Amino acid sequence: MSRLAEFLFFSLYALSALVAALVLVRFAGVAPNSAMLFGVLGFLAAMQIHGFFSRAATQSTLEKRVEKLRKANLELTHEMASIHNDLGEISEAIKEEAVRRNEVIVSEVQALETVISKMEGTLATRISEAARVAATPTLEPSEANDRHVLLTLVREALEAGRVELHLQPIVSLPQRKIYFYESFTRLRDQDGNVIMPAEFLKVAEPAGLMTVVDNLLLFRCVQIVRRLTEKDRQVGMVCNISPLSLRDEVFFPQFLDFMRQNADLAGSVVFEIGQKDFEERGIVEARNMARLADFGFRFSIDKVENLNFDVKDMQRAGVKFFKVSGDLLLAAINADPDASLPAAPDIRICDVSRYLISHGIELIGEKIEDEVTVVEMLDLDIGYAQGHLFGPPSPIREEFLAETEEAFKIAI
């Protein structure tokens, strides 16, 4: 009860006692002192009775509150027990899922090691053959010596497993969100110096070592994409593949079987081939590309030297991306804003992106180095870009690479 209510009751009892005393004096002839004493006693009695009922009411209220708190505590106890049981079930489910994922990864690694082990003898033979070819005196002495030295460095790097995978982001425009990484191979000599592709390709391709390099690159790309999907990362990988690998009778059937087993990664792995190699591909290369496309994998065309392309042929082959240097594209447009595509006279060059999209192919502006070029790419409705502006090719973090390293040990 509030203090105001208590005061009102006090006033009411005091007033009642006073009225009772006056009545006794006036109508009952009681002496004033006696009447006043009677009034005081009546007031005290009223206060005692009021206090009794007030305490009873307070006690009842407290008991009700205590009972309510007890029930609430009991319900909370039940809820906590239920939550504890749910957490136990969730913990068990997480453990089971972790075990399942580990089993999947282990089986994939075992499958990968099985595939690679089948190729070990072939790879060793090819590296030995490359060394023999390097020693064949078919060039000028100085040039042959340089080639022999470089090929020896490449052979030693492959034998020692000094092969690095560098990744460069491919971003969407204008958001600049990373959707893909392009993978690049880097070899290192025994002193840790990087052997760039422009150097090792000169000797690796003639010596037949490109399939060895592709083996290491492609299998590692697939394994890294698998790791990324395990981490729920919606990022894909663009992996370069050479025509030599596409027509290799030993490597490709085994690689195709491996990709068939990993067909669930079809939306995350894109194979890249140069424009010239794509246009000059033979029956074997075209058939093997079609086999990969049957599993859902798509292709990207890079090293574009001109805009004279057959969009229908690219569409049939399963090409998803077409990379054009920003400088090449802008130079063609600036030379003649109204110029048309050589293979499509009714399509202007400035509309090439929309033309490709209408055939299910995305244009990627590559080698983008400055913001001015980005603005020009946006004006041409180009949806993807790649270049040092968005990030140079960088080696994979050591801690991430360590997770997949066991899958790529090749005892050559």
Tell me what pLDDT residue 143 has.
Answer: 54
pLDDT tens string 287-313 = 999 999 999 999 999 999 999 999 999
**Pair of tokens at residue 197:** 């592709």
Flag whether pLDDT at 261 surpasses 70. yes
Flag whether pLDDT at 43 surpasses 80. no
**Residue 211 C-alpha from the chain's centroid:** 29
Burial of residue 393, with CB atoms counted within 10 A of its CB: 0-12 exposed, 13-18 middle, 19 or more buried: middle
d(CA 212, CA 408): 13
Nearest partner of 24 among 15, 14, 34, 16, judged by Cα: 34
Q: Residue 349 in contact with residue 137, Cβ under 8 Å? A: no
Query: What residue type is assigned to position 4 of the chain?
Result: L
Please state which of the ranges 22-26, 89-93, 290-294, 330-334 shows the lowest mean pLDDT: 22-26
- How far CA 384 is from CA of 16, 175, 322, 329, 366, in Å, comes to 93, 10, 10, 14, 9
Mean pLDDT, range 101-115, rounded to an integer: 53
Mean pLDDT, range 35-53, rounded to an integer: 71
Question: Given this structure, which CATH class describes domain 137-408?
Answer: alpha beta
Q: Residue 237 in contact with residue 181, Cβ under 8 Å? A: yes
Flag whether pLDDT at 318 surpasses 80. yes
Q: Which helix (H) or strand (E) holds 260?
A: helix 251-261
pLDDT band at 13 (very low <50, low <70, confident <90, very high): low
pLDDT band at 134 (very low <50, low <70, confident <90, very high): very low
Flag whether pLDDT at 106 surpasses 60. no
Most confidently modeled of 200-209, 219-228, 397-406? 219-228
The number of C-alpha atoms within 13 Å of 311 and in the hemisphere containing its C-beta is 19
pLDDT tens string 181-218 = 998 888 888 888 887 777 777 777 776 677 777 777 77
SS3 37: helix
**Residue 378 C-alpha from the chain's centroid:** 25
Query: What residue type is assigned to position 46 of the chain?
Result: A
Work out the mean pLDDT of the chain and round it to a whole number.
78
pTM: 0.64
Burial of residue 325, with CB atoms counted within 10 A of its CB: 0-12 exposed, 13-18 middle, 19 or more buried: middle
Flag whether pLDDT at 11 surpasses 60. yes
Tell me what pLDDT residue 408 has.
Answer: 38
**Pair of tokens at residue 125:** 């033979």
Flag whether pLDDT at 6 surpasses 80. no
Note if the bond before 174 is cis, omega within 30 degrees.
Answer: yes
Tell me what pLDDT residue 405 has.
Answer: 44
SS3 249: coil
Flag whether pLDDT at 144 surpasses 80. no
Q: Residue 269 in contact with residue 242, Cβ under 8 Å? A: no
Mean pLDDT, range 209-235, rounded to an integer: 75
Flag whether pLDDT at 315 surpasses 70. yes
The number of C-alpha atoms within 13 Å of 97 and in the hemisphere containing its C-beta is 7
DSSP code at position 295: T
Q: Residue 1 in contact with residue 61, Cβ under 8 Å? A: no
Mean pLDDT, range 35-52, rounded to an integer: 71
**Pair of tokens at residue 166:** 């560098």
d(CA 283, CA 83): 63
Domain boundaries, given as residue ranges, for the chain: 1-114, 137-408
Residues 6+ apart with CB under 8 A from 148: 134, 135
Please state which of the ranges 20-34, 160-174, 257-271 shows the lowest mean pLDDT: 20-34
Mean pLDDT, range 31-35, rounded to an integer: 70
pLDDT tens string 240-258 = 888 888 988 888 888 888 8
Nearest partner of 360 among 326, 304, 309, 321, judged by Cα: 321
pLDDT band at 391 (very low <50, low <70, confident <90, very high): very high
